[in-house]
Structures are given as structure tokens and as C-alpha cells.
Amino acid sequence: MSEIACAPTSGVAPKVGLRFNSQKLVNGLFYILVVTGSVAIVEPSPYDFVSLVAIPVWFICGFKIHRMFVPYFMLMTIYLLAGFISLTPYWNEHDSVVFELQSFYLYITALFFGLFFAERTLERGELCLKAFTAACLIGALAGICGYFNVAGTGEIFAAYGRAAGTFKDPNVFGSFEILGALYAMQLIMLRRTRHMLFTSVVLVTILAGIFFSFSRGSWGMLIMMSALMTGMSIVATPDARVRKRIITGLVIATVLAAILVAGLLSIDSVRALATQRSQGVGEEYDDPRFWNQMRSLPMLLEAPLGFGPLRFRNYFSLEPHSSFVNAFASYGWLGGCTFILLVGFTCFIGFRLCFVRSPYRTMAQVFFPALFGFFLQGFQIDIDHWRHVYLHLGAIWGIEAARHRWLAQQHNGDEPYDAAAMASR
């Protein structure tokens, strides 16, 4: 294990009234970073500007590198390098170059999140979940206002007659909201909130935002990942009283969701669009995009470097609409295989985090189902440049590093890592 730490600026102890807490600064900037992640309606996003401050400040204030970070670093680095190798013949194409530079930026954020969550894990994980839920609430309120065109906001916060919130695409918006919904559900199920009514209102608002996105992928992801999170919680909990609490909380969350959906479907225009979306009516682009994916496979088998970053469109006039296809198309065979390995290893450690006893199991049971849902969506939509996916990814690898450190401390007879935070749960 290696360590990078800041040296004190002076040998004289500062006065108590002037003491500077660097971790509060880092956490504060991180909170702002996560909240601004909900604003993707403009490019560059406020998230991008905040990251240019938050990441350097975190770096200067010091961090540790655990050996568990090494495979994550290697997989991410190989994936990025594969993209630049595939870019080699196309340096004169502006869109391809910009795409790969964006990949480099997201690579930096992914490494940052992995290292960030590996330390003070319970504190920072809880901070992140609260900030992300606040971001989801902001996005959901904007999406609801946009859908109903409150004060003329439909032109800003809606697209294609669907809620898009503070995003350009309703599908991205709906999927973004999932983590906030899962966290609010878990708070209710485990009764970890002292403000049950407020948490219920937050949950209902986020669920309404997801509903008004009319994103079938987001609807399916919400249902499946909620069931996965609940099942993990029940299976991993040996205490019958806690299981009963989980089931009771699940019933409450289900009733809230049922009442919400029933109320919304009583509105004629909402019911008509919901019926249309659930039946797939009007989705003429579905057949061509899936057909393009099938047509591209034989071509990619003959192209070790793929088509080049963001050049799938040059062959089929559409984007791949699959992160797995895009990995081979934009990053070549090396990048595609690395992406599959990254997804496979992440799923392995994610499921292990959710079932094996550790101080971080409850937290992982929120982060991982949301990330697993993104991986499943990756088969039929491009998630590779979604900023929040890299936060989820880094969180899982950072939590895994913390779990390994905790196990080592247990083996050595030391105090459990983050013991104080664990006791407060």
C-alpha cells in the first residue's frame, strides 16, 4: 500500500479557532459535484467545472492507494488506450477526437471516484447517496414541471412529449433517477430515517419523475433493481425482526408507488402516452437500430481496431445503441474484450459486496443494483459516456478496497475500519 499525504504547512500548531479541516472542504466540494451531476442540459455541464476544482483539491489533500485498486486501474487504462489506438487513423476527424478526449476525462473521474470511496467509506458513501438523492429530487421536480409545461418550462425540461428534467434525453433522465429511488426505498424499508414522511414524499416525487420520462428501460430497471435490492437485503439479513421490517417497508413503498401510478393513469393524456410507450407504438427506430447491431458484428470481426471512435454512424447512419457493440466499434477488439472483463469483474465483486458480511453491505446494496441495471441497459443503449455511470463504477471498486482493508484489520486484531461510522448504523 502506498500513500500520498499533505505535509503540514507549519511546525506551529494553529489556534483552535483558525483550524482548517481539509476533509470538510473535500466533502463539501464532492457534495456539490454530485448534485451538479443532475444538470446535463447544457454542455459543458456545471459538473465538469466543479470537477476541475474538486479533483485537484482532493489530490492535494492526500489519498491512499490500496492494492485492490490496481486491477481496476489496469482495466480502465487498457480500455482508454485501446480507444486512442483505434483513433490513430482518424486524428483529422473532429468528432472522433472529441469523443476520445471525453473518454479520457471520464477515465480520470472514474479513477477519482474509486480512490475517493476507498477511504472514509461509510461517511463518504452516505454523503454521496444523500447528494445524489438531492440531485434526483431536483431533476424529478424539473421533469414534472416540464411535462406539465408549468410556467412554460416544457421547452426546457421536456422532450418528445416526455419529461427530460435537467437532461437532454428522457431515457438518460429516467435512468439517472434510479439510485435516488433505491436509496429512499432502503431508508423506508430499514427505517433508517427519522423523517419517514419527508422520505416518502421524496420517493414519490422521484418515482413520478421516472414515470413521466416514459422510458421503458427506466421503468424496467426500477422494477427489477428494486426487487434485486430487496431480495439481497432479505437474504443477507439473519435477524428475523429486520427481515420483517424490510418486508413491511417494502409494502409501504409498493403501496405508495401503486397509488401514484393509479392517480397518474387517471389523467387521459398520461394514460394514452403510457399505453403507447408500453406497447412500443411509434418506436420506428427500434427495428433499424437492432438490425444495425446485427449487421455490424461480421464487419467488426474483420476489424481488429474497430471502426474508430464515434464512427459507427458513418457506416449505419445511427449510433450503435449498445455499449457492448460500441466497445468493439470504437475501441477495437482490445477495448471490447476489456470492457467485457470490466463488467464481469465489477459484477462479481458487486454481488459479493451485497451478500458477504462487512460494514459496507447495506451501502453496496444500493450502489450495485443501480450499476447492474446500467450494465443491463448497456445491451440496448449507449451508457459509455454517461457521467453518473462512472460514479457508480468507482463506488463499487472503492467499497471493495475498503472491505479488503477492513478484513486485513480484522485479521490483525485491529479496530474495524470505519468502526465509529459502523456503530452509528
Please list the residues that pair with 62 across neighbouring strands: 5
394 CB neighbour count, 10 Å cutoff: 25
Residue type, 324: F
According to the model, what pLDDT value does residue 14 have? Answer: 52
pLDDT tens-digit profile of 128-159?
999 999 999 999 999 999 999 999 999 999 99
CA contacts within 13 A on the Cβ side of 43: 6
Output DSSP code: residue 159: E
Annotate 216-246 with DSSP letters as a single string.
HHHHHHHHHHHHHHHHHHHHH---HHHHHHH
CA 211 distance to own-chain centroid: 19
pLDDT tens-digit profile of 295-311?
888 899 999 999 999 99
According to the model, what pLDDT value does residue 20 have? Answer: 66
Tell me the average pLDDT across 40-61: 93
pLDDT band at 236 (very low <50, low <70, confident <90, very high): confident
Please list the residues that pair with 63 across neighbouring strands: 4
According to the model, what pLDDT value does residue 191 have? Answer: 84
pTM of the shown model: 0.89
pLDDT tens-digit profile of 1-32?
444 444 444 555 555 555 667 889 999 999 99
Radius of gyration of the chain (CA): 22
According to the model, what pLDDT value does residue 12 have? Answer: 54
d(CA 148, CA 165): 12
